Amino acid sequence: MSEPTPKVAALAAKLEAALPGLLTRAPALPDELCYEVQPDKLKEVCLSLRDTPEFKFEILIDLAGIDYLDYGKTEWKTYSATATGFSRGVNRGGVRLPHEGARFAVAYNLLSVTNNQRLRIRSRCVDAEDPMIDSVVDVWPGANWFEREAFDLYGILFSGHPDLRRLLTDYGFIGHPFRKDFPLIGNVEVRYDAEKQRVVYEPVSIEPRTLVPRVIREDRRYDAALKTQK
């Protein structure tokens, strides 16, 4: 974990003093602050972050689902070029192993306009098979569609959500596209049947394939013949 900036360190000290035992510091960049929150304490922490005058995180900027299925088992560093090039983050010959502990989590990016400060909190879902976590719609109403998106794409259930329906995929869609175990070609394909005069769903007919970008060119800039002066 990098050393935080003075502003981040000051906010961290206030948070840890006001919410003892409820926050666990998570790795972050020097100008960012991230905490892990236990799922059974999520609502309590969110209300404190919103209502405490010295924090006043009145805006939920974003909410995102996280799938930790292969976390730490494959190469995901993107700050610099890697030896595996376009294949980084993919272990094509590896065996997929179950994640140790909770597989899914939800990250919340918060903003305090009043105090001009930002914070990210993260909470793991209770169950790996049927991940569930408390909804924060009653804390920040803007979480409504964010939670529906995370439910649609990751299959995360938000307890207490007023209208938890799919947001981006079709009503009859099966599965959750952003799970790492979901096939990239999908499970079914849709087409319009002229005889039945309706849309029909059929098993996918596309053959699975992996596209690896390749750039092959002859570079003659350093050819000795070009350096010969005439």
142-160 confidence digits (pLDDT tens) = 999 999 999 999 999 999 9
pLDDT number for residue 196: 93
Residue with tokens 């009503």: 171
Q: Which two tokens stand for residue 175?
A: 């599965």
Q: Which two tokens stand for residue 134?
A: 């408390």
Whether residue 141 is contained in a domain is answered as yes
Whether residue 95 is contained in a domain is answered as no
Handedness of CA 126, 127, 128, 130 (dihedral sign): negative
Structural domain range at position 36:
6-68+103-174
pLDDT number for residue 140: 97
Taking alpha carbons only, the member of 122, 132, 167, 126 closest to residue 146 is: 167
pLDDT tens string 79-109:
555 555 544 545 555 555 545 568 899 999 9
pLDDT number for residue 86: 46
Whether residue 107 is contained in a domain is answered as yes
| CATH code for the domain of 48 | 3.30.460.80
Taking alpha carbons only, the member of 119, 124, 154 closest to residue 140 is: 119
pLDDT number for residue 166: 93
Whether residue 50 is contained in a domain is answered as yes
Whether residue 26 is contained in a domain is answered as yes
Whether residue 150 is contained in a domain is answered as yes
Whether residue 192 is contained in a domain is answered as no
pLDDT number for residue 13: 95
Low pLDDT (below 50) residues in the chain = 86-87, 89, 98
This prediction's pTM: 0.76
* Residue 136 CB neighbour total at 10 angstroms: 26
Distance of CA 46 to the CA centre of its chain: 19
Whether residue 52 is contained in a domain is answered as yes
pLDDT number for residue 120: 97
Report the domain count for the chain: 1
pLDDT number for residue 87: 46
CA Rg value for the chain: 23
